[in-house]
Amino acid sequence: MRIHWYGHAAFLIETGPTRIILDPFRSPDSGGYGPIDEGADVVVVSHENDRYHSHLGQLVPPFEVVRAMELPDGGAEVAGVRFEAIRVFETPEKLAGDEVAIVHFRAEGLHVAFLGDLGHALDEAELAPIRGADVVLIPAGGPPTLDFPLMAPLLDAIGPRVVVPMHYKTPRINLDIQPIGRFFEALPGWPVEEVKAPEFEIERATLPESRRIVSLRHSR
């Protein structure tokens, strides 16, 4: 499996011949990230936010769209991959209108959890489907998404081997969020592998024995 970070919360996951794009943003309105002008087999949208998380207009068709907020219990299989969603909220107050989704799926013997715009601690019912996930893609810039004191307990509860930060301040995003250094401070003692590229490859046989953060460079 290859995991490629475009920027903000947008990823390309390549598993076998299948290309999965997660949460595409709209360029340049997302702050300056370049357009995701590539094709995919599946585009997954964790929630509807055309500027930052659900813009389909710059992708190269054809592709199938998975809207996480519309997935049924048990998920749906698209292009040979079953996508499941956990409905959560962007803010701790859990107000109507703040609904978002965690998306998770399994491929090549790996369980991947994309936390999207999660902004609160998880209760047992929300946590159970992703406990033991191998790879977690986590918002790392602080409020309005997950606050820093919540990050270590959440990751301890999930128990991933690999954590990939996203949704943090870079020179190309104009949101009032924090840079990656603040995320590292929130996880003292976690080893950090700074990949000087936007992508890395991972497989079941090469999962690290202990947990680590894999920090990527955005490609857009």
Query: 176-215: per-residue pLDDT in tens?
Result: 999 999 999 999 999 999 999 999 999 999 999 899 999 9
Give 5's strand partners.
Answer: 11
Q: CA–CA separation, 186 vs 77, rounded Å? A: 36
- Position 30 scores a pLDDT of 87
Mean pLDDT of the chain: 96
Tokens 């199938």 belong to which residue?
Answer: 64
Length of the chain measured in residues: 220
Please compute the mean of the pLDDT values over residues 3-27 and round it to a whole number.
97
What are the residues whose beta carbons fall under 8 Å from the beta carbon of 206, sequence distance 6 or more? none
Could you report the per-residue pLDDT of 47-81, keeping only the tens digit for each?
999 999 999 999 999 999 999 999 999 999 999 99
Could you report the per-residue pLDDT of 87-119, keeping only the tens digit for each?
999 999 888 889 999 999 999 999 999 999 999
Indicate the residue type of 73. Answer: D
Please compute the mean of the pLDDT values over residues 17-25 and round it to a whole number.
97
Give the torsion through C-alpha atoms of 131, 136, 141, 145, to 10 deg: -40
Q: CA–CA separation, 63 vs 56, rounded Å? A: 10
> Which phi and psi (to 5°) does residue 60 adopt?
-95, 115
- Position 97 scores a pLDDT of 84
Say whether pLDDT at 31 is over 90. Answer: no
Could you report the per-residue pLDDT of 144-175, keeping only the tens digit for each?
999 999 999 999 999 999 999 999 999 999 88
Q: Where are the beta strands (DSSP E) in the chain?
A: 2-7, 10-15, 18-22, 42-45, 64-67, 76-78, 81-89, 99-107, 110-114, 135-139, 162-166, 192-194, 199-201, 212-215
Count CB atoms within 10 A of the CB of residue 176: 10
Fold of 2-215: Metallo-beta-lactamase; Chain A (3.60.15)
Q: CA–CA separation, 108 vs 158, rounded Å? A: 20
